[in-house]
Amino acid sequence: MSNSLVIAPQWIGDAVMTEPLMRRLHARGERLTVGALPWVAPVYRAMPQVAEVIEFPFQHGGLQFKARRSIARQIEGRFDAAYVLPNSLKSALLPFLASIPRRVGYLGEARVGLLTHRLKNPKNKPPMVAFYSALSGDKEGLDQDRPQLRIADADIAAALARQGLVAKGYTVFAPGAEYGPAKRWPAAHFAQLAGLLDQPTVLLGSGKEAPLCEEIAAQAGPGKCLNLAGKTSLMEAFALIAGARAVVSNDSGLMHVAAAFGVPQVAVYGSSSPLHTPPLNDKARVLWLKDDPAYQPPLDCAPCFERDCPLGHTRCLLDITPQRVLQALYA
């Protein structure tokens, strides 16, 4: 058995979409250690194929050369191969400094000399799961890969008990989207949808998204929403998603988590595209007005992939009504 180091992406959704790659590498006999930032590391602890997770003490931005060199010295000689999933130069630096003999990744940021096996970046945006799975060197079946996460039933039961919830007795809303407002369905729409549901709503998100969730809870009215944004660990959020009746979200990391647990879900898309980052779940319903021939005038501007709407109207999100999401939930 060979030992391989995987350098993880920095976003939760991207990390979920690497699971099929982990499965492929594990199936051919590679023992996997994942190096990940602390807020992403729990994703890999929900992947049975991963033997070990190393939390990197890095921050967003900056090369942080000394810290990378220090970790490289600690792991030198442990690994036969490294898979560098992000496209940045700094992500390829640690495997190089650790003298890992086989270093696989996509070309990018002048890191030719840091990688021994280099793939060309596709010109068009491919589905991200296939993009990551291609690093395995396999060429067949990449488009059929679907991420799968696992969490123990006992952990789900414990998380629900702490919040006084019953399995399948609530719906999760994940109203945030780290990338920006052009990916976020309006708070007022989430609040109205909460009022239309026949069961409680649990609001999940990061501490940054707590004010957004508080706004939704206030608009929905007393007793409609349990706001847990910023009050759970990521693993607890996973357990609450896995135990939910359904999940409603934007195109976000928690959307991909719900898909990987196979939970019924409705995913609302605005500035991004489900052709690039879809929820790979047979129980998912995607709402994207760009793909709706009945919607007029057509959204010629979509997908723009911008953080804020360049035209200032964000009708790609505003015009998806709570009633339409409700209908998709119970379709």
- Phi, psi (deg, nearest 5) at residue 50: -90, 120
Residue 312 belongs to what H/E stretch? none
Q: Quickly count: other Cβ atoms within 10 Å of residue 22's Cβ.
A: 25
- Phi, psi (deg, nearest 5) at residue 83: -115, 115
- pTM listed for this prediction: 0.95
Q: What is the distance between the alpha carbons of residues 138 and 85, in angstroms, rounded to a whole number? A: 16
Residue 200 belongs to what H/E stretch? none
Q: What is the pLDDT of residue 108?
A: 82
User: Among residues 160, 165, 221, which one has the least CA distance to residue 190?
Assistant: 221
Q: What is the pLDDT of residue 208?
A: 94
Q: How far is CA 72 from the centre of its chain?
A: 27
Q: What is the mean pLDDT of residues 135-139?
A: 94
Q: What is the distance between the alpha carbons of residues 177 and 288, in angstroms, rounded to a whole number? A: 16
Q: What token pair was written down for 258?
A: 């719900």
Cβ–Cβ under 8 Å, residues 189 and 322: yes
The 10s digit of each residue's pLDDT in 228-270 is 999 999 999 999 999 999 999 999 999 999 999 999 999 999 9
Q: What is the pLDDT of residue 68?
A: 94
Domains and CATH numbers, the chain: 2-144 (3.40.50.2000), 153-329 (3.40.50.2000)
Between residues 1 and 152, the one the model is more confident about: 152
Q: What is the pLDDT of residue 36?
A: 97
Answer yes or no: is pLDDT of 189 > 80: yes
Q: What is the distance between the alpha carbons of residues 76 and 100, in angstroms, rounded to a whole number? A: 7
Q: What is the mean pLDDT of residues 301-323?
A: 95
Answer yes or no: is pLDDT of 201 > 80: yes
User: Among residues 187, 142, 162, 3, which one has the least CA distance to residue 80?
Assistant: 3
Cβ–Cβ under 8 Å, residues 4 and 26: no
Beta-bridge mates of residue 173: 203, 248
Q: What is the mean pLDDT of residues 288-305?
A: 93
Answer yes or no: is pLDDT of 61 > 80: no
Cβ–Cβ under 8 Å, residues 180 and 317: no
Q: What is the pLDDT of residue 331?
A: 78
Q: What is the distance between the alpha carbons of residues 216 and 176, in angstroms, rounded to a whole number? A: 11
The 10s digit of each residue's pLDDT in 20-29 is 999 999 999 9
Q: State in Å, rounded, how far the first CA of the chain is from the last one.
A: 47
State whether the Cα torsion 28-261-269-108 is positive or negative.
negative
